């Protein structure tokens, strides 16, 4: 469809990514994108609807506030409630929910208008396996020192070449990224790693967490994180942490459509 033939809506969604291949459509399973576009199409009688997301999540990764924009045919009349509740109806029984919806101009993009993205990674740090938090945490039995992990995390703040934390399959043109926040704190048996940046490399967050876990066990000193960063070599860093502990939390925009709605 051309610009003259579409209207654009932004939606904010949450989902449990356990059973999906990630956001992007793939041939080997159900994607969140497929579910969202299908629900939007069903809402308007089967006509096609395309989507762009603020961030492509991996298989097994969750979202608490992922933003997507949808391009509907221009002759369709919709409102916030119809999109939120109507798409929500067609998304059942999948654990994918529309939290909010707002009309946006065609020059607004869920991806390119974003000025920051934030993630949270959750570790359950105790001997016993999770029951209530299955598929929501990385279970680490060995005691972790969250204070040491936080100290090590601070070496990664700022603008750097993050090649050491970049997946081999990453398609980004440059390994340079500016990390604004990387905080680690413990709440009882849980360790939370919270991070924020304009954008991230493929697997960057999970690879940083895998390295910080080595600091937490005492295998690495906190300052080793600086050496790993400076190596600019994926082999220098720790393992990739599992996807189930990761959650896409929020996206920031200079012109946030949901605040004006």
Please give the Cα distance from 139 to 148 (Å, whole number).
19
211/166 Cα distance (integer angstroms):
12
Question: What is the rounded distance in angstroms from the CA atom of residue 188 to the CA atom of residue 10?
Answer: 37
Cα separation, 158 vs 52, in Å, equals: 28
In 136-209, beta strands by DSSP E: 138-140, 158-161, 176-187, 190-197
What six digits make up the tokens of 200?
């991230």
Q: Catalytic residue among 58, 75, 107, 161, which?
A: 58
CA atoms within 13 A on the CB side of 213: 25
Across the chain, the runs of DSSP E, i.e. the strands, are 6-15, 50-53, 62-73, 96-104, 114-125, 138-140, 158-161, 176-187, 190-197, 246-253
Question: In sequence order, what are the residues at sequence separation of 6 or more whose Cβ sits closer than 8 angstroms to the Cβ of residue 4?
Answer: 74
119 is known to lie in a ligand binding site: yes
Map residue 141 onto helix, strand or coil.
coil
Is 16 annotated as catalytic?
Answer: no
CA distance 169 to 193: 24
Residues 6 or more apart whose CB falls under 8 angstroms from that of 248 comprise 55, 57, 61, 62, 63, 64, 65, 66, 117, 118, 119
Binding-site members for substrate are: 119
The residues annotated as belonging to the active site are 58
């Amino acid at each position: 469809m051309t610009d003259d033939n579409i209207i654009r809506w932004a939606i904010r969604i949450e989902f449990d990514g356990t059973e999906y291949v990630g956001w992007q459509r793939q041939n080997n399973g159900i994607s969140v994108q497929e579910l969202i576009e299908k629900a939007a199409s069903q809402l308007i009688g089967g006509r096609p609807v395309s989507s762009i997301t603020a961030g492509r999540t991996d298989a097994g990764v969750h979202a608490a506030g992922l933003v997507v924009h949808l391009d509907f045919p221009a002759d369709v009349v919709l409102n916030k409630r119809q999109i939120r509740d109507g798409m929500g109806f067609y998304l059942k029984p999948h654990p994918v929910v529309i939290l909010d919806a707002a009309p946006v101009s065609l020059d607004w993009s869920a991806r390119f208008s974003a000025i920051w993205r934030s993630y949270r990674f959750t570790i359950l740090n105790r001997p016993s396996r999770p029951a209530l938090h299955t598929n929501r945490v990385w279970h680490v039995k060995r005691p972790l020192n969250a204070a040491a992990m936080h100290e090590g995390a601070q070496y990664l703040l700022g603008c750097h070449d993050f090649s050491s934390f970049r997946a081999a399959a990453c398609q980004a043109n440059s390994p340079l990224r500016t990390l604004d926040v990387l905080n680690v704190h413990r709440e009882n048996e849980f360790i939370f790693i919270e991070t924020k940046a304009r954008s991230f490399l493929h697997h960057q967050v999970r690879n940083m967490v895998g390295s910080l876990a080595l600091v937490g066990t005492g295998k690495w000193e906190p300052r080793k994180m600086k050496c790993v960063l400076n190596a600019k070599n994926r082999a220098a860093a720790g393992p990739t942490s599992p996807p189930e502990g990761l959650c896409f939390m929020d996206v920031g925009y200079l012109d946030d459509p949901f605040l004006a709605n």
